[in-house]
Amino acid sequence: MPDSILTALRALSPPARAQFLKTLPPSSLIALPHLWSVWARPDTQLPPPGDWQTWLILGGRGSGKTRAGAEWVRAQVEGATPLAAGSRSRIALLGETADQARDVMILGESGLLACTPRDRRPTFHVSRRHLEWPNGAQAWLFSAADPESLRGPQFDGAWCDELAKWRKAAPAWDMLQFGLRLGPDPRQIVTTTPRANPVLIRIMEDTTTITTRSPTKDNAANLAPAFLNRMQARYASHPLGRQELDGELLLETPGSLWTRSLLENNRIDHTPPLARVIVAVDPPVTSRVSSDACGIIIAALIADPTAEAPRAVVLADWSVQGRSPRAWATRAVAAYHEYKADRLVAEVNQGGDMVEQIIREIDDTIAFRAVRATRGKVLRAEPVAALYEQGRVLHLSRPARLTTLEDQMCAFAANPGGALLPGITRSPDRVDALVWAITDLLLIRRTEPSVRFL
């Protein structure tokens, strides 16, 4: 089928497409389901242009990444006719285990056998874990749990599935690279739901890698609507949803003061009764687009007289970046009124009296308290992190905007000497504002007025 017809078919509306299909002869209708260029999503399921060695697809559950991997292998080994040679002829198929590689990559609903037309379908020699196409191209199945099995064989292409789950990812990946030594341009595709795997991070950072992301919702046409609605409702604002549905790689710095599991354990789905609300502001030094953000965090003391120790809840993150002092101050004042706050706390190390002056120019009725950092960021943050470990600081689940704050928290780590790790975050602006808010709520001793008897 000519490319011009395929392009026109993709552009048609569903009713017009159905009408067009009725005009095609039986031979074209039989071939049409196997024309991947018609059905694939161009941005996420078709090979990217350019001179790359590794195509990494980070996809959510059910996003169509396995089909993209199988179709890439097909495109490499098939020629113009069933017996014509393709651009590659010796392929490595590498899964977490041999069974999973067989059941998903070969026999699965989106595997190689299912997506290949009968006249081009390879023969699967189960006992030898070997595929052979009518044109002589071959593929071998390997388990990432047995990296040594990759010693010796050589290939001109490879497909790695669910690499982020491999227990022996480093040796398996390294052995595969030594075997990719045939042909003028050996290439490989990696299809995986992301996890914080050091090998996956290394692959992403490689200059010869091109990464595409494929969220689950992009494949909604091929998924049960009830499944997608249920998953989105339950996990859309959670880190697990960002990883498993959106295909995001959520990093956690070794030695960070906060961890993903800690934040998940301290999550609350509803706003509890509140006793005292604080808006904390960490102003930036400059207001350029590339400047640090102005951290604006809203937190509150939970009204619970039965609790053994006072607790706080983080309600929202109103931080902004690249705004003028008046713009971020206006936003902070808006947050103050939106949440009916009792006090606005702002760090004044950089701006001095100007910080309070700008805020009062916008609203002179604000209850304002200036705070000045006399210790390093890590020393100020450690007592607050300890409160999280005690379960005394909770995060509200509903506002998805807390995700940026939580990403920054999980990247906040220190060297043994107490300094921030280089390259982790240029300025933990949101964390700074969070620390000021929780410090004001839980770490500053306040005495209630009482009657003294002499």
| Nearest Cα to Cα of residue 267 among 451, 395, 170, 403 | 395
The top-level CATH class assigned to 24-235 is alpha beta
Count of all residues that appear for the chain in the document: 454
**Residue 188 to residues 173, 178, 219, 261, Cα–Cα distance (Å):** 11, 13, 23, 33
Match 């509803």 to its residue by tokens. 270
Q: Residue 73: is it exposed, middle or buried by C-beta count within 10 angstroms (0-12/13-18/19+)? A: buried
pLDDT digits (tens, 9 = 90+) for 223-249: 888 888 888 777 776 667 777 888 877
pLDDT at res. 351: 66
Amino acid at 20: F
Residues of the chain with CATH 3.40.50.300: 24-235
Read off the tokens for 198: 């050091």
DSSP state of 438: H
256 and 412 Cβ atoms separated by less than 8 Å: yes
Residue with tokens 């705070």: 371
Contact 239, 260 (CB under 8 A): yes
- Give the Cα separation of 282 and 294 in Å (integer): 6
Where in the chain is CATH 3.30.420.240? 260-443
Which parts of 96-226 are beta strand (E)? 123-125, 130-132, 138-143, 157-161, 187-192, 209-214
CATH class of 260-443: alpha beta
Closest by CA to 328, choosing from 342, 318, 337, 338, is 318
Q: How many CA atoms lie within 13 A of 65 on its CB side?
A: 31
In this structure, are residues 359 and 368 in contact, taking their beta carbons and an 8 Å threshold?
yes
pLDDT per residue of the chain (454 residues) written in tens, 0 to 9 = 445 556 666 677 878 877 877 787 777 767 777 778 777 888 888 999 989 999 999 998 888 999 999 999 999 999 988 899 999 999 999 999 999 999 999 999 999 999 999 889 999 999 999 999 999 999 999 999 999 999 989 999 999 999 988 989 999 999 999 999 999 999 999 999 988 777 898 898 899 999 999 888 888 888 888 888 888 777 776 667 777 888 877 766 767 889 888 888 898 988 999 999 999 999 987 655 546 789 999 999 999 988 889 999 999 999 998 888 999 999 999 999 999 999 999 998 876 678 899 999 999 999 999 998 888 888 899 999 999 999 999 998 776 568 889 888 888 876 544 555 444 444 588 999 999 999 999 998 755 444 444 4
